[in-house]
Amino acid sequence: MTPSAYSDWDDTALAVDALNEYDHRLTNRSVSFLFRVQNGDGSWTAYTTDFDPLTADER
């Protein structure tokens, strides 16, 4: 995996698969934990909800 400075859902999916090998089942608790961590830095949430590609002058 390449380190990145932003949330990467591919990494989250990989983590879910990795945990599943040890847990033998995916639980809502495990998935909820990963989603909380994924969104914890705010980058994914900010990108999907607050992303504004144009400045006021460009609109």
51 pLDDT higher than 70:
no
pTM of the model: 0.32
So where are the chain's domains? Answer: 8-34
Q: Write down the H helix ranges in the chain.
A: 9-23, 28-40, 43-50
Give residue-wise pLDDT tens across range 3-22: 444 556 666 666 766 766 66
What pLDDT was estimated at residue 20?
A: 63
- Count of CB atoms situated within 10 Å of the CB of 1: 7
